[in-house]
Structure 1
Amino acid sequence: MKTALTIAGSDSSGGAGIQADIKTMTANGVYAMSAITALTAQNTTGVYGILESTPEFLANQLDCIFTDIFPDAVKTGMVSSTALIQVIADKLKQYGAKNIVVDPVMVATSGSRLISEEAVEALKEQLLPLATLLTPNIPEAQVLSGMTITTAEDMERAARSISETYGCAVLCKGGHQIHDADDLLWRNGQGTWFRGRRIDNPNTHGTGCTLSSAIASNLAKGYDLTQAVERAKAYISGALAAMLDLGAGSGPMDHLFALRGEFVDD
């Protein structure tokens, strides 16, 4: 079985972060491992508290994983401090990690800010240059490119700029009323649009975590980047189309919508 590691924050409500990543990786047929950067007290209505891991303990988690079950792919999500970003970058370099998907999480679906300004700079300097793929949404792409994005052409310019700056592929995610279900993959100086199916579902908690984890899972299984994105898009469409409806705010998706078996189908 192929393996994947998620380095991210825990979501107590189970819809985003580590919990979404593990569900997604499992649903996509790889063995999931985790290194937790922070505990969060959150639910579908917002983030109400963050308790960070210490840099030493995060390093300990990563050492334990890389020296025993080496991951075929790595996904990083919420990392809210400079010290933790430095630890992750150091360990990924130390162990020669491969297939690194960086979801530059800065703002939760609910609008809660998850990262300090200082940490954004550390993310740019330390972690982004190590990535195989970055998966920013529109607000994150604006921060990383320093550009305002209001059109598809803006998305292309921003994705190209980010790709050239950090030397990696970029999946600029649509949404925020700009090509709502369409994503742009920029790699090797060329852009490819992935047209998504617009699904009218207000419950989108954890979509970014889920997409990046699905891409990492597919890279772990040996798919090339274009195929990995295509399959991940199809998976997230299925999870949204299942129309799970939990919580008072922006609820989670059904990550295991395709799971079948004697312990599920009662």
Structure 2
Amino acid sequence: MSQSPHPPVVLIIAGNDPSGGAGVTADTQAVSALGCHPAPVITALTVQDTLNAYRVEVSDPDLVAEQAATVLDDLPVAAVKLGLLGNAEVGEAVAGVLESHPELPVVLDPVLVAAGGARLAEENLIDCLKQRLMPLSTVLTPNASEARSLAPNARDPAARAEYLRGLGSDWVLHKGADEDTPDVDNFLFGPDGQREDFRWERLPGQYHGSGCTLASAIAARLAHGDDPPLAVQHAQHWTWLALSRGWRLGKGQYIPNRLGGQ
């Protein structure tokens, strides 16, 4: 029996959200919708709904590392997406695995706080992100709040991105959905002063899992061979469409409709 060419594989390292709005469900839906095969590694179990998060149980770091290493030994991984890591111990374990695969593009979504305001990661993760994971990342995707936490002394998106790129990230996509602006302004900063500005119509309501969706879409496009600027452009457009057709399935935020095609 003949087989069709296999899809690119995206290794997803993130936490589980039982509402299905964010976390590995958002990641696997986005990666699958964009023609890739998701390989999910679970870093944490959360008690969470479309309103907020209430509890986080972080996985054993060795178990996380074993999951990731086993996938990398078996499957032809083309890109990696990092989401909720929970604490520095898990972050260190993930870094240890990825350091053996420097050829892989890595999208790092520095998840620190839930959309409802609950803290999802321990404070010690911030130093691990800066010291171990940003040097391994191809694209870093902080929202404005996360960027302020990671670069507290920088006063604007350009200064924050310069600081974060100085820590090792090749590209920084500074997202503005959580800012009080008429439209959503995202800024991509890269090597040699490269910068691209993106403006998206601000949709009504709030969305649960939009950051996970966008970061995973970028990883999927990198897995298909796009360079980072093109991957970011395509992923933002696809994510905006997913948000625009989103559902309010629960009592809180809308959930992006990642199943509506490309």
Structure 2 length normalisation: TM-score? Answer: 0.92
Of 182, 192, 195, the residue aligned with 1:191 is: 195
- Give the root-mean-square deviation of aligned CA atoms: 1.5
Q: Deviations over 1:165-192 (max 9, x none)?
A: 3242100001221474121000012221
* 8 A Cα contact 1:40 1:50, kept in partner: yes
Who is 2:99 aligned against? 93
Q: Deviations over 1:49-104 (max 9, x none)?
A: 21211012111101210010031000100111111101100000123351100001
1:147 CA drift (Å): 3.2
Quickly say closer, same or farther: Cα 1:79–1:110, change in 2 above 3 A.
Answer: same
Who is 2:209 aligned against? 206
Of 13, 16, 19, the residue aligned with 2:22 is: 16
The within-5 A match list for 1:229-244 is 229-244=232-247
Question: Structure 2 counterpart of 1:157, which letter?
Answer: A
Distance 2:58 2:67 in 1: 14
Distance 1:93 1:66 in 2: 12
Q: Deviations over 1:21-44 (max 9, x none)?
A: 000000111111111100111101
Distance 2:169 2:8 in 1: 26
Distance 2:90 2:16 in 1: 15
* 8 A Cα contact 1:156 1:191, kept in partner: no
The within-5 A match list for 1:225-264 is 225-258=228-261
Of 195, 217, 222, the residue aligned with 2:220 is: 217
Distance 2:14 2:8 in 1: 20
Moved more, 122-131 or 161-170: 161-170
Question: Structure 1 counterpart of 2:208, which letter?
Answer: H
Q: How many residues align?
A: 254
1:198 CA drift (Å): 2.2
Distance 1:243 1:80 in 2: 27
1:233 CA drift (Å): 0.8
Of 32, 53, 56, the residue aligned with 1:50 is: 56
Distance 1:180 1:148 in 2: 23
* 8 A Cα contact 1:214 1:232, kept in partner: yes
Distance 1:133 1:239 in 2: 21
Who is 2:173 aligned against? 171
Question: Structure 1 counterpart of 2:199, which letter?
Answer: R
Distance 1:54 1:239 in 2: 33
Who is 2:157 aligned against? 155
Distance 1:66 1:99 in 2: 13
Distance 1:167 1:132 in 2: 6
Question: Structure 2 counterpart of 1:239, which letter?
Answer: A
Structure 1 length normalisation: TM-score? Answer: 0.91
Q: Which runs of 5+ in 1 are unaligned?
A: 260-266
Distance 1:131 1:112 in 2: 26
4+ residue stretches of structure 1 with deviation over 4 A? Answer: none
Question: Structure 2 counterpart of 1:103, which letter?
Answer: D
